[in-house]
């Protein structure tokens, strides 16, 4: 069983070019699953049934894992069993006829449009770093890119003539994302006025720089976001991914089609994007309850 897991992880790394962090997480999930099977007296993958998988996922939840982590374990198992079936190592997929993701699905945290406007106004423009932060926050909200994609941006990734970003996402896949006027203007102002001050005579292709003229880290940006959320008086748990979630839900609330949002987010499977339709429906119910005379 260990060999099968190793072969699958190697397949993800070489054939699918999956990110290192994802590989490490899947390795932990799959090895925990193998341990669970052994405790149940199962020594071969083709003897495991859907009952063992449900039991394993339930155990993970009882151990205190978040809904996101349990869903990741499920994703790891789905991919693993599809691989085993394709390679002829098992004859049937125990996950083929069960849908478990919704059981542990946790709706992502989002900000309202009003809350987002307050948050975006926090950095100001008094210092070069503040101008940079405004550009980063505006760009995150305008494009829905991941924080890892944001801090990896290079100067050449912005097309000024057309107004879009070329983003290198998961699996080294490129996608094109439009940049709205507010983010476009904030980014242009940062490049013209603030970035040269942060460079301090150095040269760099990295778009967003720290005070030392080096690229920002994900952790560094997370701290900035948290600090501005507190400054804005937002009591919600705000993190970089909140911008991505808000971007998607606000687009759908405004009438955007799901396929377009999927392309801009860089989701390989549209089912991943569909979680945001739950948020939109919740918002519609809230509006109906608040404004309808019989609500």
pLDDT (tens digit per residue) in 213-233: 999 998 999 999 999 999 999
Percent of the chain predicted with pLDDT > 90: 43
Q: Is 164 a catalytic residue?
A: no
* pLDDT top residue among 57 and 127: 127
Q: Where are the alpha helices (DSSP H) in the chain?
A: 2-14, 20-39, 50-62, 67-86, 101-104, 113-120, 128-143, 147-151, 181-189, 195-199, 218-231, 240-253, 258-265, 270-273, 275-291
Q: Is 245 a catalytic residue?
A: no
Percent of the chain predicted with pLDDT > 70: 89
Q: Is 146 a catalytic residue?
A: yes
Is the pLDDT reported for residue 101 higher than 60? Answer: no
- The pLDDT, as a whole number, for residue 291 is 67
Taken as a whole, the chain contains a residue count of 295
C-alpha to C-alpha distance for 20 and 243, rounded to whole angstroms:
24
Burial class (CB in 10 A: 0-12, 13-18, 19+), 247: buried
- The pLDDT, as a whole number, for residue 47 is 82
Domains of the chain: 2-104 (1.10.150.130), 113-289 (1.10.443.10)
- The pLDDT, as a whole number, for residue 295 is 58
| Residues 60-97: b if buried by 16+ CB within 10 A, e if exposed | beeeebeeebbbbbbbbbbbbbebbeeeebbeebbbee
Residue 71 per-residue DSSP state:
H
Is the pLDDT reported for residue 159 higher than 90? Answer: yes
Q: Is 189 a catalytic residue?
A: no
Average pLDDT taken over every residue of the chain: 86
Kindly tell me the sign of the dihedral angle through the C-alpha atoms of 55, 60, 62, 68: negative
Identify the H or E element spanning 174: strand 174-178
- The pLDDT, as a whole number, for residue 105 is 54
Is the pLDDT reported for residue 35 higher than 60? Answer: yes
Indicate which residue of 36, 72, 195, 244 is catalytic: 244
Is the pLDDT reported for residue 128 higher than 90? Answer: yes
C-alpha to C-alpha distance for 2 and 47, rounded to whole angstroms:
15
Is the pLDDT reported for residue 98 higher than 60? Answer: no
Q: Which residue has the tokens 């669970």?
A: 36
Closest CA to 52 of 63, 41, 67: 41
Q: Specify whether the CB–CB gap between 207 and 198 falls below 8 A.
A: no
Is the pLDDT reported for residue 237 higher than 90? Answer: no
* pLDDT top residue among 52 and 79: 79
Indicate which residue of 170, 218, 239, 283 is catalytic: 170
Is the pLDDT reported for residue 104 higher than 80? Answer: no
Q: Is 241 a catalytic residue?
A: yes
Question: What average pLDDT does the segment 115-128 reach?
Answer: 94
| Tokens at 100, concatenated | 């478990």
Is the pLDDT reported for residue 250 higher than 70? Answer: yes
Residue 144's SS3 state is: coil
C-alpha to C-alpha distance for 86 and 203, rounded to whole angstroms:
49
- The pLDDT, as a whole number, for residue 279 is 67
Q: Where are the alpha helices (DSSP H) in 98-127?
A: 101-104, 113-120
Q: Specify whether the CB–CB gap between 193 and 127 falls below 8 A.
A: no
From 48-57, 65-74, 101-110, 265-274, the region with the lowest mean pLDDT? 101-110
Question: What average pLDDT does the segment 158-178 reach?
Answer: 89
Question: What average pLDDT does the segment 51-78 reach?
Answer: 80
Question: What average pLDDT does the segment 26-46 reach?
Answer: 88
Indicate which residue of 16, 89, 175, 241 is catalytic: 241
Indicate which residue of 36, 245, 250, 267 is catalytic: 267
Q: Is 276 a catalytic residue?
A: yes
C-alpha to C-alpha distance for 262 and 252, rounded to whole angstroms:
11
- Residue 56 neighbours by CB distance under 10 Å: 23
73-82, 138-147, 251-260: which is most confident:
138-147
Q: Which residue has the tokens 């063992």?
A: 52
C-alpha to C-alpha distance for 267 and 169, rounded to whole angstroms:
9
Question: Strand order of the sheet with strand 158-159?
Answer: 158-159, 164-168, 174-178
- The pLDDT, as a whole number, for residue 60 is 79
Is the pLDDT reported for residue 103 higher than 50? Answer: no
Indicate which residue of 36, 146, 195, 250 is catalytic: 146
């Amino acid at each position: 069983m260990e060999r099968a897991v190793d072969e699958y992880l190697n397949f993800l790394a070489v054939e699918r070019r999956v990110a290192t962090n994802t590989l490490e997480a899947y390795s932990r999930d799959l090895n925990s699953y193998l341990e669970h099977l052994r405790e149940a007296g199962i020594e071969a993958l083709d003897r495991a049934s859907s009952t063992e998988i449900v039991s394993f996922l339930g155990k993970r939840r009882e151990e205190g894992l978040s809904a996101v982590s349990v869903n990741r374990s499920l994703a790891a198992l789905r991919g693993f069993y599809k691989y085993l079936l394709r390679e002829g190592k098992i004859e049937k997929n125990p996950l083929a006829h069960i849908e478990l993701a919704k059981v542990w699905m946790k709706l992502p945290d989002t900000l309202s449009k009003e809350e987002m406007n307050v948050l975006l106004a926090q950095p100001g423009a008094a210092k070069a770093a503040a101008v940079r932060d405004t550009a980063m926050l505006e760009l995150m909200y305008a494009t829905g890119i991941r924080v890892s994609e944001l801090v990896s941006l290079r100067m050449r990734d912005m097309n000024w003539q057309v107004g879009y970003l070329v983003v290198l996402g998961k699996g080294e896949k490129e996608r094109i994302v439009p940049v709205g006027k507010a983010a476009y203007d904030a980014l242009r102002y940062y490049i013209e006025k603030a970035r040269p001050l942060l460079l301090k005579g150095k040269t760099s292709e990295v778009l967003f720089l720290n005070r030392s003229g080096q690229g920002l880290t994900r952790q560094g940006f997370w701290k900035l976001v948290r600090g501005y959320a507190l400054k804005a008086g937002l009591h919600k748990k705000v993190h970089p991914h909140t911008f991505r979630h808000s971007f998607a839900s606000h687009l759908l609330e405004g009438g955007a089609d799901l396929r377009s949002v999927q392309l801009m987010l860089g989701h390989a499977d549209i089912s991943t994007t569909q979680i945001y339709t739950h948020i939109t429906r919740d918002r519609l119910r809230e509006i109906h309850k608040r404004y309808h005379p019989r609500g």
